[in-house]
Amino acid sequence: MHLPLADRHLYVLGGPSAHVGFLNCERISERSHIHDWSVEAHYHEGLAQLFVFAKGQVGARLDYAPESITGPAMVWLPALCSHAFEYETGMEGWVITIPTGDLSQLSTEAPYLDHWINRPQLLVGEDHITCLTEAIDITRRIETAHCEALEDQNLALKSLFCLLLVLLNRGLRDNRALQDGNTQRKRYLVHEFQCLVENPATSSHSVAEFAKALSVTSTHLSRTVKAATGRTASEILSDQMLLKAKRMLAFSDQSISDIAFALGFSSPSYFSRFFSARASETPRDFRKRIRSQ
């Protein structure tokens, strides 16, 4: 694996001291003649970057993690964060570079940025299309202001850049809310599944039937249960069915055949095979042993 290099001249115009204005804004296409739309792994000392992709495909490695990005998207890269890009030829996008000293001042004024600003971030997807569309419009305004030698240029650039940070912060906050909502829904689904399984009146052995009762697909139910409990839905069903069978064998006088049918088995022999495989003894031997104790 090639170690990332500290960039000095290839991917950004100089180090922090070369940035006499508040920020530097470039179109990715403006320096494509240098990197031929392919940027090797590197990092920047004293400089943070915000990439805004309007459209096109980008293959990226952000802090060594591979990402496939389709614009519109925003990528935040703090100083010293390794990154590499494979751009689609002719794609539309910008890179905004800001010295970390100026960024630290902004963070002091906006402490709510602290939870993400020192780590690479990616904002992409239909859930954020309004936010990303607005970010592209603001970036175009930054590009225009960056070319204007006006007395209030730095104030304009700072204000517009702060708006980009606000949009990114809100998008990341919505991401967390969406993830939290998904987590809550998954926990609720697992809880409802377990309640159905543990219901004494339940005699189904089929994950599909439970999924139908919970208005989800069998695949979704199985994956959710596995992720939450570490066990498959089928394993939980089998364990619960075995527990019910043991209770009925131990505490009721029903025949083994009646217990088999009460638990939803198609035949006593099928029930015996199921029980023996999991309890390592037949239903009859289990009943005899328990009652002798």
The amino acid sitting at 148 is E
Class of domain 199-292: mainly alpha
Question: Is 236:243 a contact under the CB 8 Å cutoff?
Answer: no
Q: Where in the chain is the domain with CATH 2.60.120.280?
A: 5-180
Please report, for residues 14, 255, 258, 259, 290, the alpha-carbon distance to residue 282 in angstroms, rounded to integers and kept in the order given: 78, 14, 15, 13, 12
pLDDT by residue for the chain (293 residues), tens digit each?
A: 444 554 545 555 455 444 456 899 999 998 877 788 999 999 888 999 999 999 999 999 998 889 999 999 999 999 999 999 999 999 999 999 999 888 888 888 888 888 888 889 999 988 899 999 999 999 999 999 998 888 899 999 999 999 999 999 999 887 765 555 566 677 778 888 888 887 777 767 788 888 888 888 888 888 888 887 788 888 888 888 888 888 888 888 899 999 988 888 889 999 999 999 988 999 999 898 888 87
What global pTM score does this model have? 0.60
Please report, for residues 109, 119, 146, 174, the alpha-carbon distance to residue 139 in angstroms, rounded to integers and kept in the order given: 22, 21, 10, 21
Structural domain 5-180, CATH architecture: Sandwich (2.60)
Sequence-distant (6+) residues with CB within 8 A of 5 are: 40, 41, 42, 43
Please report, for residues 191, 231, 241, the alpha-carbon distance to residue 220 in angstroms, rounded to integers and kept in the order given: 14, 14, 22
Angle between helices 153-198 and 129-146 (to 10 degrees): 160
Q: Where in the chain is the domain with CATH 1.10.10.60?
A: 199-292
- Residue reference for tokens 């990005």: 69
